[in-house]
Amino acid sequence: MPVINFLLDSEKIEFTCDSGTNLMEAVVEAGIELKAVCGGAGSCGKCQVIVKEGEVNQLAQGSLSPDKLKQGYVLACQTEVIEDVRIEIPPESRLSEHQIFVAEEAEDEELLTEKEIQIAEKIELDPLYKRVDLELDEPTLVNNASDLDRLYTGLNQRHDWPGLTTSLSVMEDLASHLRDNNWQTQVSLALANDNYEVSELNAPDYEQPDYGIAVDIGTTTMVLELINLETGESVATSGLYNKQGRYGDDVIGRINYAKQNDDGLDKLHQAVIDTINELIDDVVNKESIDYADIKTAVFAGNTTMSHLFLGIDPNNIRLEPYIPTVNFIPPLQAEELGIKIKEEGWIHYLPGVSSFVGGDITSGVLATEIGKREEITLFIDIGTNGELVLGNQDWLITCSCSAGPAFEGGGIEYGMRAMSGAIEFFEIDEDTYEIKYSTINARPPIGVCGSGLIKLIATLNEVGIINRSGKFESDFEHERLREREYETEFVLVWEEQAGIDEDIVITENDIKNLLRSKGAIYAGIRMMLQNMSLTEDFIEEVLVAGGFGNYINIDDAKKIGLLPDLPNDKFKFVGNTSLKGAKMSLLSKEKFDQVNEIANKMTYLELSAEDQSQEFMDEFVSAQFIPHTDLSLFPSVT
Ligand code: FES
């Protein structure tokens, strides 16, 4: 059997596989996270690795340049291993050191806004799993109710618990437990469906805390918080890449993977469960607790993620008329899904509204309380889709504007996520065109992340290198601007300064993709306003959610026409509201009920519907300029 020696910076990993094994599969099995934007279809060119020694079988070479082929570059997804090989994994091909935005980091970086702190303070503790101390009357020949009726009577005397049920394991132990503890007990109640279930009985002096987890299932990254259910305190946080990334970068790529591969759905389902369990392993180890101490869980994520989490075929999500199998997911028990918490622990997934507005957005609306305010608020979550919500206490309208993954580096030649070595800031000298930049973790540059791309477009336009339609100015001449096959490109970093063996460039096509993405988001905002017969001036506050949002410079975003031209003090970064809403729901039954009301209340605007599509297309086309064709919409930046 061939042995693969993987070389990663200073690390070496040895892996044995069968002859004919797909190299991408081997990389994944060896625990290395490799970029795979197209999910192994051979079209994105992001899974490049270098064969240093040994022969491989190349099924396709994609767009690898002759120079790279000479150096031994292959596409891992299009390569079979047939003998012992040494494979170098270059940094630009790896998914590593991503800035997974967790609350702890926010505090470190003083990014936690006043608004976020207020949100945390507003929760009145009434968790979905709680304990009640009871002292029951001892039975007599006259007071002869069954043990379970006696327990229910005791509980209902303390509080009204409609529809109480009890698990079989509790009933099995009930008689001896009550008698052994002299009719005193601590009863643990778990929210199941719409009712509470007697889930555990403990001795009156039992002191071990109960924990719950709140989890944001992002398409790219996942973040988990371990929470003490008695105090509401967040005791540990952990973040990881969603392991589904190896099967495609965005939701459509993953839906396609599930459709096109016999075991695709199983693999995607298992990948998300494995990621969750790894996050649980991490917090359990950090806090030295048992898995069974985690009694319940609340998850929030987009609709594709909810389907893959449940192992349900997501294919109809991408097919007109875009109908998901489920928006409101009934609670399930942990062992049904293989989640490593208490086996009978109840799992809740926050409800979605449509195929492209999921539980992460209803969770965000809950966390930011925009459905409770008098003033009109715009909520923007810029990820791979661009989900938007507009409204107040009387109405909420939402849409998803297919922005694509450009701001996460997708479709941009040297685009990348916010990882070490990503350029996040540019400055271009107006006279000499000398470029200054800064990278994440001050590592040699290997690409440009979303916030860097926004800054770059704004700056290229400002210094007159590109015009308002994103094309290089015809009279601009400089050694950095050069022609290549079918393309014009501008060199951002020369090879000598780069952390990769080539120049880092931005092409006219990249700029077009970025303008498309930002145009889709801005057009979505305009469509929601028009449907409510409003203009930008009615927006009192703009809340920018999501990890990426925290790194956007508002002035640059307005300059390129991504965000509306409103005063800067109207913009607030609200961080990972998906996680915050999940945490609030875990700690408060009232909030948990509210998120269901929010999902019912939100009106989904389908931008591709017949009555909207032409108008959306007009808005979209107008918004693909810097900042827009209608400059009166951006008076402060033009
Ligand atoms: Fe290999 Fe896209 S080319 S994953």
Per-residue pLDDT tens over the stretch 17-39: 999 999 998 998 888 888 887 88
The pLDDT score that the predictor gives to residue 85 is: 95
Residue 105 has pLDDT above 60, yes or no: no
Based on the fold, state whether residues 177 and 68 are members of the same structural domain: no
Instruction: Check if 40 has its Cβ closer than 6 Å to any atom of ligand 1.
Output: yes
Asked if pLDDT for residue 380 goes beyond 70, the answer is: yes
Q: Is residue 593, in this structure, part of any structural domain at all? A: no
Say yes or no: 142 and 36 in one domain: no
Q: How many CA atoms lie within 13 A of 534 on its CB side?
A: 19
Mutate to test the pocket of ligand 1, among 75, 89, 250, 254 (most ligand atoms within 8 A of CB): 75
Average pLDDT (298-322) is: 97
Percent of the chain topping pLDDT 70: 95
C-beta 47 within 6 A of ligand 1: yes
142 lies in some domain: yes
pLDDT at 339 over 90: yes
Q: Which ranges constitute the DSSP H helices of 198-250?
A: none
Please give the sequence-ordered ranges of beta strands (E in DSSP) within 79-233, or none if there are none.
79-81, 85-88, 129-135, 165-166, 184-191, 196-202, 211-217, 221-228
Final residue before a domain boundary, out of 149, 182, 202 = 202
Residues 215 and 341 reside in one and the same domain: yes
| Cα 11 to averaged position of ligand 1 atoms, centre (Å) | 23
361 lies in a domain?
no
CATH number of the CATH domain containing 154:
3.10.20.880
Query: Does residue 46 have its Cβ closer than 6 Å to ligand 1?
Result: yes
pLDDT at position 167 over 60: yes
Is there a domain that residue 494 lies in? no
CA angle 291, 294, 297 (to 5 degrees): 125
For the segment 385-427, what is each residue's pLDDT rounded down to a tens digit?
789 999 999 999 999 988 877 888 878 999 988 888 999 999 9
Q: Which three-class secondary structure state does DSSP give residue 350?
A: coil
* Rounded distance from Cα 49 to ligand 1 centre (Å): 11
Instruction: Note down the domain range covering 306.
Output: 209-349
Which atom, in ligand 1's list, is nearest to the CA of 35? 4
Split at pLDDT 50, 70, 90, the class of 100 is low
Q: Closest Cα to atom 3, ligand 1: which residue?
A: 42
- Taking alpha carbons only, the member of 297, 383, 368, 396 closest to residue 604 is 396
Judge whether 47 and 94 are in contact, CB under 8 Å: no
Same-domain status, 192 and 225: no
Phi/psi region, residue 225 (left: phi>0; alpha: psi -120 to 50; beta: rest), is beta
Terminal alpha carbon distance of the chain: 64
Query: 40 C-alpha to center of ligand 1: Å?
Result: 4
Work out the angle between the directed axes of helices 147-158 and 168-180 (0-180°, nearest 10).
90
How are beta strands 294-301 and 211-217 bridged, if at all?
parallel
Where is 523: in which H helix or E strand? helix 508-531
How does pLDDT run across 228-256, given as a tens digit for each residue?
Answer: 999 999 999 999 889 998 888 889 989 99
Same domain, 174 and 276: no
Q: What is the mean pLDDT of the chain?
A: 91
**Gap between the Cα atoms of 94 and 74, Å rounded:** 14
Say which DSSP state 305 is in.
Answer: H
* 160 shares its domain with 258: no
Contact 223, 237 (CB under 8 A): yes
**C-beta of residue 227 within 8 angstroms of C-beta of residue 234:** yes
Flag the least confident range among 3-7, 418-422, 553-557, 575-579: 418-422
Atom number in ligand 1 closest to CA 41: 2
What is the pLDDT, as a whole number, of residue 418? 82
Residues 284 and 321 in one domain: yes
Contact 36 CB / ligand 1 (< 6 Å): yes
The residue that leads in pLDDT, 619 or 118, is 619
pLDDT band at 117 (very low <50, low <70, confident <90, very high): very low
Residues 177 and 213 in one domain: no
Beta bridge partners of 296: 212, 346
Q: What is the CATH number of the domain that holds 16?
A: 3.10.20.30
Write down which residue in 151, 181, 202 finishes a domain: 202
Query: Total structural domains in the chain?
Result: 3
Give the β-pairing of 435-439 and 481-484.
unpaired
Q: 627 C-alpha to center of ligand 1: Å?
A: 33
| Three-state DSSP state, 60 | coil
Which SS3 state, helix, strand or coil, does residue 549 take? helix
Which residues make beta-bridge pairs with 22? 80
How confident is the model over 251-281, as pLDDT tens digits?
998 999 999 999 999 999 999 999 999 999 9
Q: What's the confidence (pLDDT) of residue 48?
A: 92
What is the helix (H) or strand (E) element at residue 543, kind and residue range? strand 539-545
> Average pLDDT of 603-626?
93
The pLDDT of residue 108 is: 38
- pLDDT of 4 over the 50 cut: yes
Tell me how far apart the alpha carbons of residues 132 and 201 are, in angstroms, rounded to a whole number.
10
Q: Is the peptide bond before 405 cis (omega within 30 degrees of 0)?
A: no
In a domain, 171, yes or no: yes
**Does residue 512 lie in a domain region?**
no
Residue 107 pLDDT? 41
Residues 218 and 300 in one domain: yes
